[in-house]
Amino acid sequence: MKTLAPIPPSDREVEEIIRLVNTGLGFKYNISKKHLIISRLNRRLIQLKLGNYREYLEYLHAHPQEQDTLFELITTNITSFFREPKQFEYLQTRLLPELKENKKTGTKLRCWSAGCSSGEEPYSIAISCLETLGPGWDVKVLASDINTIRLKMGTEGKYHTEQLKTVPPAWLRKYFLPLKEEKEFYRVTPGLRQKIFFRQMNLLDDSSLPPFIRFSFIFCRNVFIYLNDQAKEELLAIFYRRLNPGGHLFLGHSESINTAVDNRWLLLGNSIYQKKD
Ligand SMILES: C[S@@+](CC[C@H](N)C(=O)[O-])C[C@H]1O[C@@H](n2cnc3c(N)ncnc32)[C@H](O)[C@@H]1O
Q: List the domains of the chain with CATH numbers.
A: 11-74 (1.10.155), 85-275 (3.40.50.150)
Q: pTM of the full predicted structure?
A: 0.96
Confidence at residue 106, expressed as pLDDT on a 0 to 100 scale: 84
- Cα–Cα distance measured from residue 67 to residue 17, given in angstroms and rounded to the nearest whole number: 10
85 alpha carbon – ligand 1 mean position (Å): 19
Residue 193 designated active-site: no
Closest residue by CA, ligand 1 atom 7: 79
- Cα–Cα distance measured from residue 122 to residue 141, given in angstroms and rounded to the nearest whole number: 7
- Cα–Cα distance measured from residue 21 to residue 113, given in angstroms and rounded to the nearest whole number: 22
Find the catalytic residue in 83, 110, 145, 193: 145
Residue 138 designated active-site: no
Please measure the distance between the N-terminal and C-terminal CA atoms of the chain and give it in whole angstroms.
65
| Residues with C-beta less than 6 Å from any ligand 1 atom | 25-26, 75-79, 83, 115, 117, 121, 145-147, 150, 202-204, 221-223, 252
Confidence at residue 1, expressed as pLDDT on a 0 to 100 scale: 57
Pairing mode of beta strands 196-200, 138-145? parallel
Pocket test for ligand 1, best of 68, 145, 150 (most atoms within 8 A of CB): 145
Confidence at residue 2, expressed as pLDDT on a 0 to 100 scale: 59
3 state SS of 48:
coil
Confidence at residue 211, expressed as pLDDT on a 0 to 100 scale: 94
Render each residue's pLDDT in the chain as its tens digit; 277 residues.
557 889 999 999 999 999 999 999 999 999 999 999 999 999 999 999 999 999 999 999 999 999 999 999 999 999 999 999 999 999 999 999 999 998 766 899 999 999 999 999 999 999 999 999 998 999 999 999 999 999 999 999 999 999 999 999 999 999 999 999 999 999 999 999 999 999 999 999 999 999 999 999 999 999 999 999 999 999 999 999 999 999 999 999 999 999 999 999 999 999 999 999 8
